[in-house]
Amino acid sequence: MQTEEVGILAMGSHVERHGAALPLDTDAKIASYVAQEAARRAGAKFLGILKTSYELPRIDTGQHQSLGEVLEELRITLKNAKKMLRIRTVVVVNGHGGNNPVREHLPILEKELGMHLAFNSTIVELEGPHAATVELSMGAAIGITDESKVDEHVDFTKYPEVGFVGLREARRLYPWMEQQAQQVEKEGVAVDKELGAKLLEHAVGEVVNDIRSLQS
């Protein structure tokens, strides 16, 4: 398969609270960075980023859409990429943990559209607690973290979404969230631009590997 038949599509979230030091569209910006860089290196087509995003029940961090709405936008986007750009293979680069259930529906879309699809959620796997050290560091590496606001960032009364520390009901519902919140309560957060760059490089490499795997 030729690289011009391969597309890379980003998914993130566009209106999600990330504390004082990160913008609402942090996930979208990081996912777009990784997707565009992987597309550049592999010679694939960057297909943009979905506007919709999903969140797990009882997690209130911003504005998200239903899973059905996300899947419909994804279906239309893939269909148009195949029709207009002759794309046959797509790697979906996900930067928002709430989008992970989309992965389960890819086989249905593959069959319907006659395309090869891969779901890469390396960014989410690397970032750990929400809006904490890794996400701050990745943000710093691409220039979206406001380091002057890091001290304010850990005011969990004002920014309960940081590490999910202040989301008490959700912490009781999701054991993984409770674990992450306790980690942030114990360790706090920091910004390490070098760490962020290293992890972004790893994420880009994983997307390129997916492209090579699909081509073979």
SS3 per-residue string spanning 113-178 = HCCEEEEECHHHHHHCCCCCHHHHHHHHHHCCCCHHHHHHHCCCCCCCCHHHCCCHHHHHHCHHHH
Cross-strand partners of 9: 92
Res 1: pLDDT: 47
Calculate ∠ Cα 36-41-43, nearest 5°: 85
Q: Which fold has domain 3-215?
A: Rossmann fold (3.40.50)
| Binned average pLDDT, 10 residues per bin, the chain of 216 residues | 82 98 98 98 97 97 98 98 96 98 97 97 97 98 98 97 97 97 97 98 97 84
pLDDT at 45: 96
Residue-range domain boundaries for the chain: 3-215
Quote the pLDDT of residue 190: 97
